[in-house]
Chains A and B, each alone.
Chain A
């Protein structure tokens, strides 16, 4: 029947075999997804305009009320490097800590860790990379040396009963090295897991990844670290974030990082967008029938609030479509 039609596309022959494998590559999606909201930290950190401490606190409180269960609050880094995070202690002390919600903070070194604990932190985050050059440029040491630094933090955290999450940057590509091998990502991830990180977030730092590369990377990592301990952190610099996230979900990952309003730019591509927008992620998950616990309406309100404070338009398409101009 179809063969009688003119101007058919060329792939008629392989269709039967394609159909056999195509649905199998889709996998079963998780029933619940934990969203790690990184807007107040990763998002704000990459925004040009500095927002006041009360605004940061209000944002986090609004996100708590939106039903998010993990909100990355701030970074205990020197304000010399990251002025936006200069008020880390005040923010952590000032937010309402809702029961059942985690408020992790970044701690690049032992000094930051101690300051974080003194300010009331119950969970900290350490930041590594799958690229030697990126590590050198970012924290001025090799990957191996960075492990030694992190080990100090992990040991201290263990004594104080504080959970530690690990980030692996450049998981799908590096601004300095270019392609990153999945084996390297697996190696760094495995190291973090064995050192005591309860969860490792694999970051497409410059947003260059596409679904096939995501799949290859995860396939390698999953052989070394249990799926339940993995998260993905996709940047939308090239518009690929949601498709990459979908691929990760198809492979069984059930923890996804995102940022309200898609906050944050990209330091490597001026004018480019940053994180995956939480609203757009929630929209997809809800459409897929996956439980998130997030109230999209309240989330939109939080996004609207922070965009006004930053004097910028939202990067979330859902927000753009639902706000009345």
Chain B
């Protein structure tokens, strides 16, 4: 940049630029204006579904324990942004994940808006039954493409975990409850290092075969780069249609949006993210966690893709939870916009 006087801030045209061209997307009907359509990259999906994992994956990795009423308020605010899927909590033992100990109260306490889905994690049959009793109408199971990670994380081999998940998913289907499957370590493992695309495909196929309607491929430690994302997706997409796939990128090494762009270019149209980029990384102290929903929406809006989500309302929800958790946001869009 040149010799710019630092006194210049927030010029009117600048605000206009952001408002008119980059912050649209709060309704699908509010369609693309023709000028914007020409900047859309060819080959990208027209609509991208964002799966908001802030209340679960985000908060789970935050040190500060958030009171139940704050969690409920947080989810309720997210429900009003246009997000269509919000991962609420995890029916896991509080011994393992203290932050999720109030899962039943949160699930019962939130307002379930029509048109919004509220999946919850259910690592086993017991968790599943509790979730259903608490009013859950969608569940997720969490597998991994790494044996070591599976052992350390849920204390069993991949094969054993698949057995458990099969029980859960079968019960879910029996009750007409959709089940989503996660595959962790899709682009690398903190214990094993690199993970072959074939292994990711194998695990994804198992989850898809047992009845999961969507498989979210997670770059758990954020080590992936566009090349490894491409290779992994090429392998998985030979066995599973892209319409049943999602990507879940962590921004530990700043690669998340570049990896997501790559996934979009390959036809993926479901992306997980967390408002404010909540969550750290348990494997790299001080590192950031999930990709920030605000920054994701900013890119998607700029690309002319519909999300149905109002960026400004998401930023407000992010501001709310950051104050509650007493941390500064990890979203660059929020950082740039909230300081007057």
Residues of A with C-beta under 8 A to B253: 280, 283, 317-318, 321
The chain B residue with its CB closest to the CB of A313 is B286
Which of A25, A137, A242, A268 touches B14 (beta carbons < 8 Å)? A268
Q: State the CA gap A98–B244 with chains docked (Å).
A: 53
The smallest beta-carbon distance between A152 and chain B, in angstroms, is 17
- Bits for B231-271, please: 1 = Cβ < 8 Å to A, else 0: 00000000001111000000111110110111001110110
Which of A11, A236, A318 touches B269 (beta carbons < 8 Å)? A11
Does residue A213 face the partner (Cβ distance < 8 Å to B)?
A: yes
Residues of A with C-beta under 8 A to B284: 321-322
Which of A82, A203, A213, A271 touches B302 (beta carbons < 8 Å)? A213
- Bits for B208-240, please: 1 = Cβ < 8 Å to A, else 0: 000001100000001011111010000000000
The chain B residues found within 8 Å of chain A, CB to CB, are 1-6, 8-11, 13-14, 16-18, 20-22, 38-47, 49, 178, 213-214, 222, 224-228, 230, 241-244, 251-255, 257-258, 260-262, 265-267, 269-270, 281, 284-288, 292, 295, 298-299, 301-304, 331-333, 335-340
Given known contacts A18-B267, A243-B299, what 9 new A-B pairs fall within 8 Å (CB)?
A8-B213, A11-B243, A15-B242, A26-B265, A208-B22, A240-B257, A243-B258, A246-B261, A320-B286
Closest 10 CB pairs of A and B: A210-B302, A287-B225, A317-B254, A239-B332, A271-B339, A272-B336, A21-B43, A280-B254, A239-B295, A321-B287
The chain B residue with its CB closest to the CB of A243 is B257
The smallest beta-carbon distance between B274 and chain A, in angstroms, is 14
The smallest beta-carbon distance between A233 and chain B, in angstroms, is 9
- Determine whether the beta carbon of A211 is less than 8 Å from that of B255: no
- Determine whether the beta carbon of B285 is less than 8 Å from that of A324: yes
Q: State the CA gap A23–B233 with chains docked (Å).
A: 12
Chain A CB within 10 Å, residue with most, of B5, B49, B243, B281? B243
Residues of A with C-beta under 8 A to B41: 25, 211-212, 215
The smallest beta-carbon distance between A9 and chain B, in angstroms, is 6
- Determine whether the beta carbon of B3 is less than 8 Å from that of A139: yes
Q: State the CA gap A14–B227 with chains docked (Å).
A: 25
Q: State the CA gap A242–B337 with chains docked (Å).
A: 20
Which of A167, A216, A317 touches B38 (beta carbons < 8 Å)? A216
Residues of A with C-beta under 8 A to B265: 22-23, 25-26
Residues of B with C-beta under 8 A to A101: none
The smallest beta-carbon distance between B262 and chain A, in angstroms, is 7
- Determine whether the beta carbon of A323 is less than 8 Å from that of B11: no
- Determine whether the beta carbon of B335 is less than 8 Å from that of A272: yes
Task: Provide 7 A-B residue pairs closer than 8 Å at the C-beta atoms, listed in order of the A residue.
Answer: A2-B241, A2-B243, A137-B8, A243-B260, A284-B254, A317-B254, A321-B281
Given known A-B contacts A205-B1, A240-B298, A277-B254, A173 and B17 have beta carbons under 8 A apart: yes
- Determine whether the beta carbon of A268 is less than 8 Å from that of B10: yes
Q: State the CA gap A136–B287 with chains docked (Å).
A: 41
Spot the interface stretch: A55-63, A86-94, A176-184.
A176-184
Q: State the CA gap A289–B41 with chains docked (Å).
A: 25
Residues of B with C-beta under 8 A to A173: 17
Residues of B with C-beta under 8 A to A318: 253-254
Question: Could you tell me which residues of chain A, from 5 to 28, have a CB within 8 Å of some CB in chain B?
Answer: 5-12, 14-15, 18-19, 21-26
- Determine whether the beta carbon of B262 is less than 8 Å from that of A179: no
Q: State the CA gap A268–B326 with chains docked (Å).
A: 26
- Determine whether the beta carbon of A176 is less than 8 Å from that of B38: no
The smallest beta-carbon distance between A250 and chain B, in angstroms, is 8
Residues of A with C-beta under 8 A to B13: 133, 174-178
Residues of A with C-beta under 8 A to B213: 5-8
The chain B residue with its CB closest to the CB of A286 is B225
The chain A residue with its CB closest to the CB of B285 is A325
- Determine whether the beta carbon of B261 is less than 8 Å from that of A208: no
- Determine whether the beta carbon of A246 is less than 8 Å from that of B22: no
- Determine whether the beta carbon of A9 is less than 8 Å from that of B255: no
Given known A-B contacts A179-B21, A210-B22, A211-B299, A242 and B258 have beta carbons under 8 A apart: yes
- Determine whether the beta carbon of B332 is less than 8 Å from that of A273: yes
- Determine whether the beta carbon of B3 is less than 8 Å from that of A81: yes
- Determine whether the beta carbon of B302 is less than 8 Å from that of A9: no
Residues of A with C-beta under 8 A to B333: 238-239
Q: State the CA gap A169–B22 with chains docked (Å).
A: 20
Given known A-B contacts A6-B213, A176-B11, A267-B4, A212 and B255 have beta carbons under 8 A apart: no
Does residue A108 face the partner (Cβ distance < 8 Å to B)?
A: yes
The chain A residue with its CB closest to the CB of B221 is A321
Residues of B with C-beta under 8 A to A269: 9-10, 336-337, 339
- Determine whether the beta carbon of B43 is less than 8 Å from that of A18: yes
Q: State the CA gap A174–B230 with chains docked (Å).
A: 34
Given known A-B contacts A108-B2, A216-B39, A321-B284, A242 and B254 have beta carbons under 8 A apart: yes
Residues of B with C-beta under 8 A to A270: 9, 339-340
Q: State the CA gap A137–B2 with chains docked (Å).
A: 11
Question: Could you tell me which residues of chain A, from 148 to 180, have a CB within 8 Å of some CB in chain B?
Answer: 167, 169, 173-179
- Determine whether the beta carbon of A287 is less than 8 Å from that of B226: yes
Q: State the CA gap A289–B225 with chains docked (Å).
A: 10
The chain B residue with its CB closest to the CB of A127 is B2
Residues of B with C-beta under 8 A to A207: 336
The smallest beta-carbon distance between B250 and chain A, in angstroms, is 10
Q: State the CA gap A108–B45 with chains docked (Å).
A: 44
Does residue A69 face the partner (Cβ distance < 8 Å to B)?
A: no
